[in-house]
Amino acid sequence: MTSSVAQTPIARKISTNAVIRTVFANGSISRADIAKLTGLSKQTISDVVRDLEDDGWLKPVGQTDGRPGRNAITYEINARAGLAVSIDLGSTKIAAAICDLLGNVVAETKVSTDPRGGMHLVNQFSDLIVELASAAGTGADKLRLVVLGSPGVLDPATGHINVAPSIPGIDAINLRQVFSDRMGIPVIVENDVNLAAQGERWRGHGIETNNFAFVALGTGVGMGIIANGTLLRGARGAAGEIAYLPIGGDVFDPGGFTLGTFESAVGSVAMLRRYVGFGGRNASTVADLFAAFNAGETSAAAAIEETARLVAVAIAAIGAALDPELVITGGSIGARPELVNAIRGFLPRCTPYPPRIEISRFGNRAALMGGMGIAVERMHDDLFGVKLREV
């Protein structure tokens, strides 16, 4: 009788959520306008905004001016009220950034990966975060979340990395758990190519597309799939593992098991082997090969063309299975316009409805961007999400 505990938090949550979303969508806005846009009453908006301001989520930012009538106080999101970390773990480099509630990058850095792997990486991440937080003028205790992109196949339930050939010792520990315990905040681990797809979805070519695929071509190959607007992970987290596509070789050859038939046919090693096979002698790296191509060398052209042909067939297969509207390419090979143009040439000859092909908007920052996108989305959910009780 003294005081009821929490009777109907749901109605206020819904209102709060509506207010926050409106402010996110409209930037600096007055309470009167929020009321008009949400359809809620002025009174309710005033109450909700007061609470949000008291808790630091909104801040008054100015006044309307120049129109008849009393000036309104305008409010906007206090972006610094929520900060999160995105880390892209690569075999040679680690990129990391801190972003705020609006997705603004407030600090970013890049270092060499500790070659000892395993727990040493956790230490490295931890140091990196402290350093970034300091650069952002805040404490590590203000961070709410870490999103970590890593190569390898991840168990979607636990975030445990099952196969990560290029990072030593990382499949031996439960990276998500260990790292989360160390930092004291939630850690989300996601495949780096999946993150790249999310990055394009968030602020890249996929921003208006609910069905697309991000295809990474480099030393290895991989794919991130956005279908119905959300990321596809598959039953064991191995969706998009196109290394194993039965294209470019004999799938019944047991050699394809370990390396993957398609990866063996279009990875950088295969491309260079192909170049040598065609008589090329002036390239020991993929960059060299493309330089040779641009210098007019026919063996380089042949190597690129054959690779493009196989990639086009793979995209045709993906198109038949998933019907994407768009395929975004990235990675050291996939980001080369020379290759992509060749793919564009082959595609209409092997599939009746070729998807559009674009090169990643973010280059090698795509995964980092995706991590930030997920972090922002997750922060919004945690802070303002309306969760209905499951019965």
Partner DNA sequence: TCCCATTTGTCAAGGACATAGACAAATTGC
Partner DNA sequence: GCAATTTGTCTATGTCCTTGACAAATGGGA
Interface residues with a second copy (CB under 8 A) are 8, 10-11, 14, 17-18, 21-22, 25, 37-39, 209-212, 223, 225, 227-228, 230, 232-247, 251-252, 256-257, 262, 313, 316-326, 349-353, 355, 386, 388-389, 391
Nearer Cβ to a second copy, position 17 or 138?
17
For the purposes of burial, counting CB atoms within 10 Å of the CB of 291, is it exposed (0-12), middle (13-18) or buried (19 or more)? Answer: middle
- Distance CA(341)–CA(230), nearest Å, equals 28
Nearer Cβ to a second copy, position 67 or 389?
389
Q: Is 19 in the site for DNA (CB under 7 A)?
A: no
Q: Is 64 in the site for DNA (CB under 7 A)?
A: yes
What's the sign of the alpha-carbon dihedral 48, 54, 57, 59? positive
Q: Is 20 in the site for DNA (CB under 7 A)?
A: no
Find which of a second copy, DNA, none residue 70 binds, CB within 5 to 8 Å per kind: DNA
Show the tokens assigned to 267. Answer: 């990875």
Q: Which residues pair with 89 in a beta bridge?
A: 94
Q: Is 22 in the site for DNA (CB under 7 A)?
A: no
CB of 182 to a second copy, least distance (A): 30
Range 70-99, binding DNA (CB under 7 A): 70-73
**For 145, phi and psi rounded to 5 degrees?**
-170, 145
Nearer Cβ to DNA, position 10 or 172?
10
- Distance CA(363)–CA(326), nearest Å, equals 17
Q: Is 349 in the site for DNA (CB under 7 A)?
A: no
- Distance CA(18)–CA(38), nearest Å, equals 7
Show the tokens assigned to 91. Answer: 């075999």
Find which of DNA, a second copy, none residue 209 binds, CB within 5 to 8 Å per kind: a second copy
- Across the chain, the runs of DSSP E, i.e. the strands, are 29-30, 58-63, 73-77, 83-89, 93-100, 105-112, 143-150, 153-154, 161-163, 187-191, 212-217, 221-227, 230-231, 326-330, 356-359
Find which of DNA, a second copy, none residue 362 binds, CB within 5 to 8 Å per kind: none
Nearer Cβ to DNA, position 32 or 302?
32
Range 27-46, binding DNA (CB under 7 A): 30-33, 39-44, 46
Q: What share of the chain is helix, strand, coil (3-state, %, to 5)?
A: 45, 20, 35
Find which of DNA, a second copy, none residue 44 binds, CB within 5 to 8 Å per kind: DNA
Enumerate binding residues for DNA (CB under 7 A): 1, 3-5, 7-9, 11-12, 14-15, 30-33, 39-44, 46-48, 63-73
